[in-house]
Amino acid sequence: MSVTTKATIASFGGKLLKLSHQSKVTGTEMNFNLFLPPQVTTNALHKAPVLIWLSGLTCTPDNCTEKGFFQHGASKKGIAVLYPDTSPRGANIQGEDESYDFGSGAGFYVDATVDPWSKNYKMYSYITEELPSTVFENFKQLDSSRVSITGHSMGGHGALSLFLKNPGKYKSASAFAPIANPLKAPWGEKAFKGYFGESDWQSKGAEHDSTELLKKWKGGPLDILIDVGTGDNFYKQKQLLPENLVEAAKSIGQDTAVNVRFQPDYDHSYFTMASFADDHVDHAAKYLFA
């Protein structure tokens, strides 16, 4: 599980690494970025916890790295940030590059079960298992026992669903403008039908739908931070449905489990993430350093 370093860039006192590896899970070369905070680049004895950032539709590891401003807060707190890609690339599947919301750049953090996608599109296994294994094997200055997760839009869906499917695996979760109930949203329906098939998409999709997962949550008290802009067109188009997640929390008696902050006028862009990135790093830090 060797890793190729494509670039080493100084950023906020630490190092931003542009990396790639040959994934056995997806069968493709996968790019990812890793920010190492100054606490580990200058002190060999320090071990840093990790915040995983899952990006939204169309994004590569670079978008949030350049525009999300997470290094600012992560540098202060001593947290590494892992920026994976959003899908396999170059799998040579017919139609993989035809849609912005399906195929390349749109893996939806699930393991596809139907042809032709099931061979390569295994982003759930990739993000929960292979990528962190690879990272912790190659970067001993990171602490595999302290990992939190966050993300945007499709990546917000990814962050919340991975967190809720794997109690205890992540210390905390937060999201920007997450697709919080994909079974009820056009983006989610298209992705689940494509990756799970017309007959199974609702049952298999429910296993990856944060609202459905939260209704069945048996773990302890939750504290999920979510920011949604009131100027977000995809929120207005009901692609996100954060209210459904709040209702699900109430249905299990955890009224305060999901803290949705509606940010006035903010849109779906990285300007919103940059504006509140520090808050999400602080939220993760509260649990990573508890």
Q: Which helix (H) or strand (E) holds 20?
A: strand 14-22
Q: What angle do CA 198, 203, 204 make, to 5 degrees?
A: 80
3-class secondary structure per residue, 149-184: EEEECHHHHHHHHHHHHCCCCCCCEEEECCCCCHHH
Distance between CA atoms of residues 62 and 108, nearest Å? 18
* Per-residue binding letters, 172-211, with a second copy (x by CB under 8 A): ----------------------------------------
* Residue 167 in the binding site for a second copy (CB under 8 A): no
* Residue 229 in the binding site for a second copy (CB under 8 A): yes
Out of 153, 172, 174, 210, which one is annotated catalytic?
A: 153
Out of 208, 268, 280, 283, which one is annotated catalytic?
A: 268
Q: Supply 206's token pair.
A: 């429910």
Minimum separation from the CB atom of position 111 to a second copy (A): 34
Strands (E), 27-184: 29-36, 48-54, 80-84, 142-151, 174-176
* Residue 12 in the binding site for a second copy (CB under 8 A): yes
Judged by CB under 8 A, the residue of 58, 118, 274, 279 near a second copy is 274
* Residue 58 in the binding site for a second copy (CB under 8 A): no
Q: Which residues of 185-205 are buried (b: 16+ CB within 10 A; e: fewer)?
A: bebbebbbbbbbbeeebeebb
* Residue 69 in the binding site for a second copy (CB under 8 A): yes
- 268 catalytic, yes or no? yes
Judged by CB under 8 A, the residue of 136, 143, 275, 287 near a second copy is 275
Sheet of 224-229, strand order: 174-176, 224-229, 258-263
* Residue 234 in the binding site for a second copy (CB under 8 A): no
* Residue 32 in the binding site for a second copy (CB under 8 A): no
Nearest to 269 by CA among 66, 130, 128, 72: 66
Identity of the amino acid at 232 = D
Minimum separation from the CB atom of position 15 to a second copy (A): 8
- 101 catalytic, yes or no? no
Q: Supply 261's token pair.
A: 């902050």
Minimum separation from the CB atom of position 203 to a second copy (A): 39
Minimum separation from the CB atom of position 85 to a second copy (A): 19
Query: Which residues carry out catalysis?
Result: 153, 232, 268
Query: Would you tell me which residues interact with a second copy (CB under 8 A)?
Result: 9-13, 15-16, 66-67, 69, 71-72, 229, 231, 263-267, 269-272, 274-275
